[in-house]
Amino acid sequence: MKEIVEYTDYRKFIQDYYDERKRSSAFTWRDFARDAGFSSAVYLKYVCEGKKNLSVNAAGSVANAMGLAGFEQTYFVLMVSYAHAKSDAAKRVAFEERCALAQAHKVHVLGKEEFDYFKSWKNPVLRELAPHMPGARPLEMARTCRPVITAAEVSEALDLLVKMKLLKKDKNGNYHQTEKSVAIGTAEAVPVAARDLQRQMGEFAIKALDLPLSEREMSGMVLGLTRRSYDRIRKELEDCRRRITAIATEENETEYVYRLNMQLFPMSGRLGTGKKSVLNKEDKK
Kindly give the parts of the chain with pLDDT less than 50.
Answer: none
The pTM of the whole model exceeds 0.85? no
pLDDT given at position 76: 94
Domains, the chain? 4-109 (1.10.260)
Identify the helix (H) or strand (E) that includes residue 223.
Answer: strand 220-223
Q: DSSP H helical segments within 56-121, as ranges?
A: 56-65, 70-83, 88-104, 112-118
Identify the helix (H) or strand (E) that includes residue 167.
Answer: strand 167-169
Query: Cα–Cα distance between 17 and 1 in angstroms, integer?
Result: 7
pLDDT given at position 280: 63
